[in-house]
Structure formats: structure tokens, C-alpha cells
Amino acid sequence: MRMKKHGYYLKFQLMYFIFVSAFGFFFPYFNVYLEQNLGFSGSEIGLVISVSLLASVLVSPLWGALSDRTGRYKLLLKGLLFAYALFAWLLFQMTALFWVILFTTLMEAVGIGLSPMLDVLAVDYCERTGKDFGRLRIAGSIGWVFGSYVTGFLITNLLFDVGIAMFWPLISFMIIAFLLAIFIPDLPEKEVTDVQVTEVEKPSIWGLFKNRAFVFLMIFNFLTLSIIDAVVAFAGNHLVLTLGAQPSAIGWMSVIAAGPEVIFFLFATKLMMRLGVKKFYLISVLTLMGRFLVYAVTSNVWLFLAVGGVGSFMMAVGGIGNFLYIKKHVQKSLTGTAFVINVAILTLGRAMFSLMFGVIYDWFGSFMLFKFSLVFVGIAFLILLPTRHFDVFDARTVMDENN
């Protein structure tokens, strides 16, 4: 039994590596591809991103409701992986703005359900076996570094076309992830039965929006993680077209930003609990503010790249802290839905900020993107300071309440 459990852990690690590598090949370079290969303006790039993301938000409740109602997380994961590879191939054939928007939208509509399905399976497995989910996610960090660096290497050193260097690895790795998904464990039958039948309180998606702790987290993520996703998408354009760096610098940006996560995630969960989850979140926001401040004022490529290394705290919040928070505050039978809504909120934020950033990029230049981002991250810090929603992680607080 131990060998089997350990084997499953390795399979999840490999799954995260392949899955996140696929995104690493693609996303850091997508805006550059749209501008250089297809000739889109900043406003058109913002339109492509925002329309596709907003449409995917409308689809996201479907994946949450379908997964929680049927309990077929693994089956949905496999179907979504295959569909994503198909739509990516179709997008690669398109050059006109309308068709690029259409197939980018289809990719995002499918992609918004991918991470939650895999995360639900992985978190459930770790809970049942006592494994550290944070350490499991290290494989994803390595995958992101690998994917983003390889694409930059193919473009700069082997002179691959940006589109070929992005799309073919993405499609290939999504197909590999589909095959690997066959071999990871699904939720146990007992778990599925409990979710569907035995729980006294009937689960409702609207109950999540009445859950103040959950709503608070969604607002916080909107103001922080959504900003990161949106502004980093333009960071490649900033590096190559504003600072004059080689395309390989985009790969190095991802390596320097995600590389420290590989080590940090080994002890991030323990550090989070030792410091206190709220204090960990506060430190994370402060490091993000410092990162954007340097981005907003420096013209030095190497300083720009180096400061990305402080992002490990915020990535731990997104990759570990938020899952722990949701598990503490959300009804068990709504976990899958909560994970999907979390991704949907991040996607909605990314869509809105991408549309704004596209206009700002055209009118005021890329430096203004980082100054603009600082304002919203500052708001996140101010709403985080007084909140008591993290008290549930404090054993002393829980003991006091019980007494």
C-alpha cells in the first residue's frame, strides 16, 4: 500500500510538471506573439485577452457545478486537457483578429476548469495520505521554469519562429498530460457518495457568496494575483520592446521568478503556519509592492530580472495558502466549486486589468503599468491589515473560542 501511495504522489508530481510546463511554453510569450507575429496593437492585445477571459468566467460555474454534482473530477480533467490541445492547434492556424479572439476564448473557457480539477484531486489525495501539498506543487514551479526557458532558448538560440516555439510544445505537453491523467487516482467512492448524498446541509453555489471569509479572499485575490497575471503578460513586451532585451530574457524572467519557488515550496507550508497565515499574507503583499516599485523605475534589464526572485511569497499564497484557506472556510461538498470560482475571479480580474493595461500600454508606455498596479496592491494591503478571517489558523484563537 505504501508503494502504491508513494507511486501516486510521483504521478501527481509528474502531472503538475507536464501540465504547468505546457503553460510555461505559451503564456509568457503570447502577448509578444500577438504583437510581433500578428501585428496587433496594445489595445487589440488587451481586447483579445479581456474578451476571452470574460467569456471563460461565464463558463466557469459549469465546471464547478458539474464536478461537484457528479464527482467525476478525473474524467472532466481528461476531457478538458484534450479539448485544450485541440483549440490551441486551431488558434495557431488563425491570423485575423476575430478568429484569434474566438479560439483564444475557447481555450480559456476550457482552461479555466483545468487547474481546479487537478487541484481538487491532488489536495484530496494529500489530505488522505498526509502528504504535503506544497511540496507537490514544486513540480509545477519546475515545470514553469522549464517551459518558459525552453521557448526562449528555441527562439533566441535555434531561431525558431515564436509561434512554433510556443504552440507545438504546448499542444504536445497537453496531450502527454491527458495520457498521464489516466494513471492518477480519482476521489474515492466513499468521498463521492458523501459529497452527493449524506451531507445534511444541501450545498448551494450561492452559499459561497454569503460566506464572508470566502468573499474576502476573492476580493484579495482580485487585487493581487489577478494583477500579477495581467501585468506579467505585458512584462515580456516591456523587456523586449521597451528595455531592448533579447526574447530569451522572457525565459530568464520566468526562471528567476519561479526558480526560488522550487526551494521555497519545500518549507513554505511550515513557514506559513509558524509565522501565522495572516502575517505570511502581509509579507507577501509587501514583497509584491516592492517588486512593482522597482519595475516602475528601473531601465536596467538585469535589475528588472533579479527583483522577480522575491515573488516566491506571493506564489505560495496563490499555490498553497488559498487552498488551505478555502478548505478551512468552505463546506466540503463545495470545495470543487470554490476552487473554480477562485480561478474565475482571478480570470475576471486578469480580463479587466488586461483591457486597461492594453490602453495604458498604447497611451502611456509600459512603465505606467507597474505604477498603476501599485495602487491596487496597496488597497489589498489595507484591507488585509484589519481582517480576522485568518484567526481560524491560530490554534490559540481556536482554543479561546472553544473555552
Spatial neighbors of 282 by CB under 8 A, at least 6 apart, are 381, 384, 385
Q: Are 241 and 357 in contact (CB under 8 A)?
A: no
pLDDT attached to residue 22 = 92
**In whole angstroms, what is the distance from residue 81 CA to residue 83 CA?**
6
The three-class DSSP label of residue 20 is helix
CA atoms within 13 A on the CB side of 246: 12
pLDDT attached to residue 306 = 87
In this structure, is the dihedral angle defined by the CA atoms of residues 336, 268, 292 and 35, taken in order, positive or negative? negative
**In whole angstroms, what is the distance from residue 76 CA to residue 212 CA?**
29
The three-class DSSP label of residue 246 is coil
Q: Are 370 and 239 in contact (CB under 8 A)?
A: no
Vertex 213 angle, CA 208 and 214, to 5°: 40
Q: Give the CA distances from residue 126 to residues 8, 77, 130, 131, 322, in Å, rounded to whole numbers and listed in that order.
A: 10, 18, 5, 5, 16
Q: Can you list the domains of the chain with their CATH numbers?
A: 2-185+205-393 (1.20.1250.20)
Give the tens place of pLDDT for each residue, 146-169.
888 888 788 877 777 888 989 999
**In whole angstroms, what is the distance from residue 311 CA to residue 264 CA?**
10
Residues in the chain: 403
CA atoms within 13 A on the CB side of 182: 6
The three-class DSSP label of residue 333 is helix
**In whole angstroms, what is the distance from residue 327 CA to residue 136 CA?**
17
Q: Are 144 and 20 in contact (CB under 8 A)?
A: yes
**What's the N-to-C CA distance of the chain in angstroms?**
40
CA atoms within 13 A on the CB side of 145: 17
C-alpha cell at 281: 499574507
Q: Are 44 and 309 in contact (CB under 8 A)?
A: no
**In whole angstroms, what is the distance from residue 280 CA to residue 273 CA?**
9
Vertex 101 angle, CA 340 and 65, to 5°: 20
pLDDT attached to residue 397 = 39
Residues with pLDDT less than 50, the chain? 1-3, 191-201, 396-403
pLDDT attached to residue 289 = 93
Cα pseudo-dihedral 70, 222, 358, 361, rounded to 10? -150
Q: Where are the alpha helices (DSSP H) in 187-334?
A: 189-193, 205-210, 212-223, 225-237, 248-275, 277-297, 301-307, 312-316, 322-329
Vertex 335 angle, CA 319 and 51, to 5°: 65
Give the tens place of pLDDT for each residue, 190-218.
544 444 433 444 556 677 778 888 899 99
pTM flag (> 0.85): no
pLDDT attached to residue 204 = 61
Spatial neighbors of 110 by CB under 8 A, at least 6 apart, are 80, 83, 84, 87
Three-class SS string for 79-133?
HHHHHHHHHHHHHHCCCCHHHHHHHHHHHHHHHCCHHHHHHHHHHHHHHHHCCCH
